[in-house]
Structure 1
């Protein structure tokens, strides 16, 4: 049963649990709308959804706990959370940084499930939606920046926020959600994950959540700071400006991310029904 369980865990490679994660950063070379679909909604969420179905229904929380698989998996995904965040810190390419962030954030979902605490399970399920709204915003922003300026590297984006205020404002909102700052959606899921870790008596994983949030801040906030307050190497040309057809969707998803954080009851009710 243990072998079968880990075949499931790593076989659903779309969940990007290390070492089965290499495909995800490589997929960021796709056009931005495709990257957004891969990294925020369809593909990766199907991976973690399948892992959750294995934990909740194929094996069941009782069997996973009885075999000690929950704690073993929690340590594996905690390693993924921290290492992927460290990788993200080292990437100058904006989409590559977002890709490694996705690797890290997906393991939050699995961590919530395998802690086997009802509160943590709810947090893991909620993080599927919270991450979707926030990460699709961030990828849309990356696409808007590239279409407006042709820039992909963060080091080349000093001062671009003064030319693309709506894009970089939405990016900042998405970043706050990924870090877990209220009232963005990411705060709700991370709050439940932290409470669930405490409820399960698993302090090491609570520490992992706190460290990872600090790492999230370390690789997201400098992007917004450079964009709004960085000194431009040269004056941005007049052609670098907001493109309405690109800006409207990313502002809409950023607003949805905040609305989910303010009004989470619908998502919480769905998650609690699954846990029951």
Structure 2
């Protein structure tokens, strides 16, 4: 363990990504050094954040207060269990994503690679700062920085489609945060006198149930990164970005920042007991259920692999919102467990999609007949990630659904049970055919260098696996997806501490 105080560890975690963002462009002429800086920074960040874990488990809650804007409005950071869980997910997966990015960006001769790594570092810095924010004021600053730093990543290809997707991305995320989230934060400060994340919430006896319900609506739909319908359009549109960016959006930073913020607001601003007593959150169960099922049905209809994965993410994120909306300690534990389980599984799936594109230049599911025999590592990893999305053991996706079902059966929320069961069937319907197609169908016959069928023309059918950094990265994340099933103690311990206050 590093011989630093918890406060020093937290400060190091907050600054390491920004140091990397400064050093990376200085090395732009030497790609090996540039990417070495990225890897060293990622490993250093993960090491520092993991060293915070024993302190937090032992009861430490390190805190740094920067400056005060007004009474009850501080720019400050504090490490608590849920924030540390998110920080561990983000920092650990940055290491793997950095290895993957090297293989992907070089393998596809992507332009502007220095800009890519700089924006990635800034985005991770914003994510860690958001995770460790002590209050809504600090969180909002880095929530917006995360949006702005990922915009150049979404538009990385600089094509008309990329810029169109970027406009949707900014419009939806900045629009919802400025029109809905910011007014909700201001109203919270006015009525509660503080924005600090507090166990049990800050609204008890301070606002009426009607006002509390109105604020909840503003918060939930103002947190556009959670992609609750109808505010989900930015997410499928952003699939035009390179695959490492898609992995960042879906697994490491952006969408996880959304559901993390939803969970923080429900647990530490409203308080699950206060919301349950007020009875103003029942609509959220219906909104999340609608998103879970509708996004799953849309995913079924997608032939483009990344778009199917995108709609899967929209659905899976709403599991977390659904679990939080049950408003019991065990359901909130399930939501926190699903943040970790979904992260490692979904990043595996996107890594596999990028591996297929890099090696075979194929993007459509209908093109994947027999590809599992040419890319066994990639498609085995994809199979593991798919089983996790369905929620089957022995994968990390099992625990989140198990806790959600346990909570719903205890509270007799039959709607939630029905939604989880039906959506699990839908998950199987849009993931298992991909695995069957890859391993149990004959490859397309090649005639004069082209596969039979015009839609396959121009694809590389004489290929193997993608470059080794890509294969190593997806193998690691697939292994993590299984290991989290057998060794779930880290996210489970932190989730328990979160509900214990």
- The equivalent residue for 2:218 is 7
1-structure distance, mates of 2:312, 2:254: 15
What do residues 139-183 of structure 1 show as CA deviations (whole Å, max 9, x unaligned)?
000000000000000001101111000000000000000001101
Matched residue, 2:322: 111
Alignment of 1:42-81 (within 5 A): 42-81=253-292
Contact 2:272 2:328 survives alignment (8 Å): no
CA distance in 2, matches of 1:262, 1:83: 32
Aligned-partner SS, 1:219: helix
Pick which of 68-77 and 21-30 moved more: 68-77
Partners of 1:259 and 1:71 lie apart in 2 by 35
Choose from 152, 166, 172 the match for 2:383: 172
Q: 2:483 aligns with which of 244, 252, 259?
A: 259
TM-score by length of structure 1 reads 0.97
Confirm or deny: 8 A CA contact 1:112 1:125 kept in the other structure: no
- The structure having more radius of gyration, on CA atoms, is 2
Contact 1:123/1:190 (<8 A) preserved: yes
- Provide the residue aligned with 2:463 in structure 1: 239
What is the Cα-based RMSD across aligned positions, in Å?
1.1
Q: Residue 70 of structure 1: CA displacement?
A: 2.9
* Partners of 2:342 and 2:397 within 8 A in 1: yes
What is the match of residue 40 of structure 1? 251
Q: CA deviation at 1:239?
A: 2.9
Q: Distance in 2 between matches of 1:51 and 1:273?
A: 18
Q: Show the counterpart of 2:496.
A: 272
Is residue 423 of structure 2 the alignment partner of residue 212 of structure 1? yes
1:100-122: per-residue Cα shift (whole Å, max 9, x none)?
00000001111111101211111
CA distance in 2, matches of 1:205, 1:234: 46
Q: Is the 8 A contact 1:48 1:106 kept in 2?
A: yes
Q: Are 1:180 and 1:213, in contact at CA under 8 Å, matched by a contact in 2? A: yes
Distance 2:373 2:264 in 1: 45
Q: Which has the higher contact order (CA 8 A, sep 6+)?
A: 1
Q: Deviations for 1:83-113, whole angstroms, at most 9, x for unmatched residues?
A: 0000000000000000000000001111111
Q: Given the two structures, how large is their TM-score scaled by the length of structure 2? A: 0.54
Which of 86, 94, 105 is 2:297 aligned to? 86
Tell me if the contact between 1:141 and 1:168 (Cα under 8 Å) persists in the aligned partners: yes
Equivalent residue, structure 2, for 1:197:
408
More helix by share: 1
In structure 1, the residue corresponding to 2:253 is in which secondary structure? helix
Q: Distance in 1 between matches of 2:463 and 2:325?
A: 50
Structure 1 residue 242 displacement after superposition: 4.0
2:461, 2:286 → 1: CA distance?
49
Q: Which residue matches 2:235?
A: 24
Name the count of aligned residue pairs: 276
- Is the contact made by 1:80 and 1:107 (CA closer than 8 Å) also made in structure 2? yes
1:145 maps to which of 330, 342, 356: 356
Which residue of structure 2 lines up, in the alignment, with residue 96 of structure 1?
307
Query: Hey, what's the Cα distance between the residues in 1 that align with 2:430 and 2:278?
Result: 37
Cα distance in 2 for partners of 1:90, 1:211 equals 17
Instruction: Measure, in 1, the Cα distance between the counterparts of 2:388 and 2:344.
Output: 9
Structure 2 CA distance, aligned partners of 1:227 and 1:163? 9
Where 1:248 maps in the other structure, the secondary structure is helix
